[in-house]
């Protein structure tokens, strides 16, 4: 947009189709109006995802993507000099002078301001003995950040009153992930150092962030992205969620972090294997994380996110320009292939994925068969080349400017499990961030063990399959197989009806069940309940019902419901409970899948046509004919010929993780085992 423009016109905005009304709303929202607007363009792909989570978090007064860094200074003068240098860096880069506007607009837009003064706030902290000044300072920072105001960067400073000389200061430098990635913070601090040391002349001309936005949105068509992801992810039906943790909207408050250096000897052997196979270390670590993802989900083709740098194709001096260039996209790895095959295919997949590194994650999600609102994956692998002193923290560049140090730096994502691999060029460091109830130390141990065993498997050239690589070390394996599994108890080899009939014989007059209240109250003793269930069981057996048969029961909560459940297992069959409040389509689908021999119901509970076409006998309890037959049936316990504890007791249909009902069979021995555990655990 021309610097002397007094009115904005749609022709000045080349990357977005805006109306004059849109531009008027933008001008009204920006301090200084038209004269302070340098450019307008859409969000890059990862910015779109972060923006989505920002809006979700803002509703709950939080934002996981506000990234804090705390610095220490040995004087107030150094603080002021740093802030002055930081403002000059903001003035240099359009991404640091950017606000995001979306209200009453057809799409979220980045608006670059010509001037964006830093927001600096000084606070006084009240510290008690043992208090952490860094934590107190972060708590004193504003709770949120208004991304509609540029820069998306703020500074909070305080004097460290506990310092003996009284001259130490702390600064919380917070930036929003919409404007930076890990490398961008390093670039920003390096430019601040250059200004502090009057070396700004060595800084390269900044790359306009609009060029990256244009490239990321236009270089590869949405249809090409869609075709690729349909091939890779089209048959995915359930999320890959380690430990079953599905929440991708957390605020990171329950996040634990574990950092581990890979042993130098293992790192050397690892590089030898990657050279032998002609692949990158990145391919190796993606294969290793695929093994852990498979082990913690039970899936053979796990999907997880991989972080793509995005700077290589951004052109010009993007590698020295702050901004958000990375993207997170899914990779799917077959854990049933051999290690040699796996390295080759992962290397090829990563190369192929690079052609789509600027695709929106939402597009990849859309081509799957996942239920709506289900995440495609909940774990992230971030492989990054780092300096020799690499860590999850960021270090100040080599500087003569002593008296400034980084005390704390934090990066979080909305994913509950993130694994970062820092490749120092010699060794490797793992940083695992895991949200409770996951344990970052446990996950880091699984990953480290998988890496070491993967190296051994490749060295031995045994043709080992990936899902056979051990992820548990000897101590963990012993704990899982023996420690946690030391639960052996003497449990009777019997069935549920056998247990009930024995109880009825012991306490025939004791109350077995009570239903309702007042005049509607109905109570049955064990003898009465046993007798009613026996009559219905004999009727079912007369119809041919026996062991391993399935009988559906669709009744409202009532005495008849309990009688029917008990009668089915007394007949030796398994019951299939159907909730009368479920939609008839779901009931019909369950019956069609389970194909029971009979359906127990009433004339008012289900449609007479339910289950038609599957050869199912209907036992309608309020039918006078059925009532008449029941009254003549024996009340003696039936003889269940050939009925064994391993036979099914019931089948329960659950939605599972796919949204489609799945039948789960529970055997009598499982029910009896649980009852025995309850007796022991509850002291019954």
Q: What pLDDT does 399 receive? A: 47
Residue for token digits 């581990």? 260
Q: What pLDDT does 390 receive? A: 40
Same fold, 10-203 and 212-218+240-248+256-478: yes
**Contact, 274 vs 350, CB < 8 A?**
no
**For residues 515 and 530, what is the distance between their CA atoms, to the nearest angstrom?**
16
Q: Residue 157 belongs to what H/E stretch?
A: strand 153-159
Right CATH number for 10-203 from 1.25.40.10, 3.30.559.10, 1.10.8.350, 3.40.50.150? 3.30.559.10
Beta partners for residue 159, in sequence order: 169
The tens digit of pLDDT for each residue in 249-292 reads 766 667 899 999 999 999 999 999 999 999 999 999 999 999 99
**Contact, 94 vs 111, CB < 8 A?**
no
400 has a pLDDT exceeding 70: no
The tens digit of pLDDT for each residue in 201-255 reads 999 888 899 988 988 888 788 899 999 999 999 999 999 999 999 987 766 667 8
pTM of the model: 0.69
**For residues 99 and 110, what is the distance between their CA atoms, to the nearest angstrom?**
6
* Residue boundaries of the structural domains of the chain: 10-203, 212-218+240-248+256-478, 496-682
DSSP state of 381: E
Q: What's the rounded mean pLDDT across residues 639-647? A: 93
Tell me the pairing of strands 522-525 and 550-554.
Answer: unpaired
DSSP state of 263: P
CATH number of 496-682: 3.40.50.12780
- Closest alpha carbon to 553 in 510, 494, 616, 493: 616
The tens digit of pLDDT for each residue in 363-396 reads 898 999 898 788 999 999 999 887 644 444 444 5
Is residue 151 classed exposed, middle or buried when 0-12, 13-18 and 19+ CB atoms within 10 A define those classes?
buried
DSSP state of 639: P
Token code pair at residue 436: 């409770």
Does domain 212-218+240-248+256-478 fall into CATH 3.40.50.720? no
**Contact, 68 vs 410, CB < 8 A?**
yes
Order across the sheet with 37-42: list the strands: 37-42, 109-113, 98-101
The tens digit of pLDDT for each residue in 3-16 reads 999 999 999 999 99
């Amino acid at each position: 947009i021309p610097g002397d423009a007094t009115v904005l016109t749609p022709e000045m905005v080349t990357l977005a189709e805006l109306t004059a009304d849109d531009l008027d709303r933008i001008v009204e929202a920006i301090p200084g109006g038209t004269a302070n607007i340098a450019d307008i363009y859409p969000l890059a792909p990862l910015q779109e995802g972060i923006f989505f989570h920002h809006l979700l978090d803002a509703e709950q007064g939080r934002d996981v993507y506000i990234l804090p860094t705390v610095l220490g200074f040995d004087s107030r003068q150094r603080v002021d000099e740093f802030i002055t240098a930081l403002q000059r860096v903001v003035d240099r880069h359009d991404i640091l002078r950017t606000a995001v506007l979306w209200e009453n607009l057809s799409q979220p837009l980045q608006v670059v301001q010509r001037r964006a003064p830093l927001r600096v706030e000084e606070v006084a902290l009240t510290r008690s003995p043992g208090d952490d000044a860094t934590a107190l300072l972060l708590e004193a920072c504003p709770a949120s950040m208004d991304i509609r105001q540029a820069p998306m960067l703020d500074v909070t400073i305080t004097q460290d009153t506990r310092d003996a000389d009284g001259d130490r200061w702390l600064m919380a430098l917070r930036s929003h992930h919409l404007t930076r990635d890990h490398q961008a913070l390093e670039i920003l601090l390096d430019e601040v150092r250059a200004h502090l040391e009057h070396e700004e002349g060595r800084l390269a001309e900044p790359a306009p962030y609009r060029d990256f936005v244009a490239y990321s949105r236009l270089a590869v068509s949405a249809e090409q992205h869609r075709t690729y992801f349909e091939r890779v992810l089209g048959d995915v039906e359930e999320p890959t969620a380690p430990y079953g943790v599905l929440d991708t909207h957390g605020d990171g408050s329950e996040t634990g972090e574990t950092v581990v250096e890979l042993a130098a000897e293992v790192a050397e052997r690892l590089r030898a294997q990657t050279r032998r196979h002609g692949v990158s270390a990145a391919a190796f670590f993606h294969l290793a994380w695929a093994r852990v993802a498979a082990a913690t989900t039970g899936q053979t083709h796990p999907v997880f996110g991989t972080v793509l740098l995005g700077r290589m194709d951004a052109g010009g001096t993007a590698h020295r320009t702050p901004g958000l260039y990375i993207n997170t996209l899914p990779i799917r790895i077959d854990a049933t292939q051999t290690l040699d095959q796996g390295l080759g295919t992962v290397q090829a997949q990563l190369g192929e994925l690079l052609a789509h590194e600027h695709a929106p994650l939402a597009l990849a999600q859309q081509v799957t068969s996942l239920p709506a609102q289900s995440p495609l994956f909940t774990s992230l692998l971030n492989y990054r080349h780092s300096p020799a002193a690499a860590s999850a923290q960021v270090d100040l560049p080599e500087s003569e400017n002593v008296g400034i140090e980084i005390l704390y730096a934090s990066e979080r994502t909305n994913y509950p499990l993130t694994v970062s691999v820092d490749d120092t060029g010699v060794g490797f460091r793992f940083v695992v961030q895991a949200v409770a109830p996951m344990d970052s130390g446990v996950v880091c141990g699984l990953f480290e063990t998988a890496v070491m065993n993967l190296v051994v498997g490749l060295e031995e050239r045994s043709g080992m399959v990936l899902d056979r690589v051990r992820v548990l070390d000897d101590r963990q394996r012993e704990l899982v197989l023996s420690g946690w599994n030391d639960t052996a108890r003497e449990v009777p080899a019997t069935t549920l009806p056998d247990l009930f009939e024995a109880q009825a014989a012991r306490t025939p007059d004791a109350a077995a069940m009570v239903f309702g209240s007042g005049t509607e109250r109905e109570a049955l003793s064990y003898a009465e309940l046993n007798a009613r269930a026996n009559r219905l069981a004999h009727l079912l057996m007369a119809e041919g019902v026996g062991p391993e048969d399935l009988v559906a029961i669709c009744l409202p909560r009532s005495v008849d419901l309990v009688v029917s459940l008990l009668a089915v297992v007394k007949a030796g069959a398994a019951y299939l409970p159907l909730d009368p409040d479920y939609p008839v389509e779901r009931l019909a689908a369950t019956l069609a899948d389970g194909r029971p021999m009979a359906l127990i119901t009433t004339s008012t509970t289900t449609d007479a046509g339910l289950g038609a076409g599957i050869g199912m006998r209907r036992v309608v309890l309020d039918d006078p004919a059925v009532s008449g037959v029941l009254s003549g049936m024996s009340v003696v316990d039936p003889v269940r010929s050939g009925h064994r504890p391993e036979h099914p007791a019931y089948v329960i249909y659950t939605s599972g993780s796919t949204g489609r009902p799945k039948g789960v069979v529970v055997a009598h021995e499982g029910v009896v085992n649980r009852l025995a555990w309850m007796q022991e655990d509850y002291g019954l």
